[in-house]
Amino acid sequence: MFLTVLMSLLSYEINLYYRYYNYATFMVIFSGIAIFYCFTLLAPRDMFNDFKREIYGNKLVQFWIFAQYLVIFLGSFLGKDVTLSNLIRLIAIIPVIWVFYIFIPKNLNEKMIYKLGTFIIFCITSFSFIGTIIKVNGQFMGYTMFYGRLRSLFFDPNYFAALVGVAFLLSYNRKGFYKFIAAFNLIIIIWTGSRTAIIALIVTTILMYFYKKKIKIKDLLKIPFILTFLYFILYYLFQSGFFRTSQGLGSRDRLAEITFIMLKEEPFLGYGMNAVTPLLNSYRTLSSSTHNTYLDYALTYGIPLTIIYLLVIFFAMYRGFKAKIEGNILCVLIFLFIFSNSIAISLGGVGAISLIFTLYLGYCNTKNSLITKI
């Protein structure tokens, strides 16, 4: 699993990334099987039985995974293309969910989740320092800027911005040296030129300003000052050309329009796992995806399964909210959920950001025993 995370962090070029993803799914499946086998042999019987109860207790997650297989199975009878690599990616969801959504979160306490956050902060910040070298020198070991946008060692500036945003949100409400790290990573986010990152950060911080708070008059009085500060920040970014208004939404509005047209024709079972790119190309677009995780998911599996998928995410976040978990974790989840409308971040995915998203959702899902597990 650690090798999988490391590989996902080091994939910087899009073709290499896709080749890595197929290889990583094999690693996830076999490592998941090996871990589970060792666990059955070495773990105390009570712990093993508790783990089984956790798996069986997450009924909505079980139903979601089963429904994915059912949709693909039914689609194959309708002539929709299903390849071995597709099945491998689908199978990989099971060990990822078992390990990152159920097993690890079940055994994390507040001290351990804090240390995990510290590890994530320093790992990502190290890539931010490399990004600074690239920004100053123009290159680092062959890695360069991407059309004036910083991407460090990664294949896409938005992907890098999502990672740095996680580090910022995990560190900004800590004390001491972490304040410097948060400020440094905020500058890095601006250098990535990611509009989605800035918008997601603003929405997240505004929502979380009132988290765990009993609203007082002084809190309400701070709002005009906060809004004024945000106005000047956004005005500066707008004047500097950060939002690239001349580019519009980068064809995302057109891709969304095409998606809704296609979903009207096949709303229930979707078009299958290999269909998104050919479908978009049939409308004379050059995109391989809609740049929106949930629209891609709907095209692949249909609207009903997409709703179930969203329910799994929302219910897990709701459990964390009701249990009043650490604010920075909820911040990360909201931030990544917003960001997944721009890049591929998914529950059960094997990419580094998807693993973080899955782990923190699982941590939320283990909280608040008064709410029935999903």
Contact 356, 43 (CB under 8 A): no
Contact 271, 262 (CB under 8 A): yes
Q: pTM of the prediction?
A: 0.85
Contact 362, 316 (CB under 8 A): yes
SS3 breakdown of the chain: % helix, strand, coil, rounded to 5? 70, 0, 25
The CA distance from 110 to 41, in Å, is: 28
Closest by CA position to 207, among listed 127, 122, 317, 82: 317
Q: CB-based burial of residue 140 (10 Å sphere; 0-12 exposed, 13-18 middle, 19+ buried)? A: middle
Q: Determine the 3-state secondary structure of 144 from DSSP.
A: strand
Half-sphere exposure of 200 toward its Cβ, with a 13 Å CA cutoff? 29
The CA distance from 123 to 280, in Å, is: 36
Q: Locate the domains of the chain by residue range.
A: 2-213+287-365
Alpha-helical segments (H) within 43-109: 45-57, 59-77, 84-96, 104-106
pLDDT tens for each residue of the chain, 374 residues long: 444 444 444 443 344 445 555 555 555 555 655 666 565 566 666 766 777 788 788 889 999 999 998 998 888 777 777 777 777 778 878 888 888 898 888 888 889 999 999 999 999 999 999 899 988 888 887 778 877 888 887 878 888 999 999 999 999 888 889 999 999 999 999 889 888 899 999 889 888 777 766 667 776 777 787 778 777 777 777 777 776 666 666 677 888 889 999 999 989 899 988 788 888 888 888 787 888 999 999 999 999 999 999 999 999 999 998 888 888 999 999 999 999 988 888 898 877 899 899 999 999 998 754 444 55
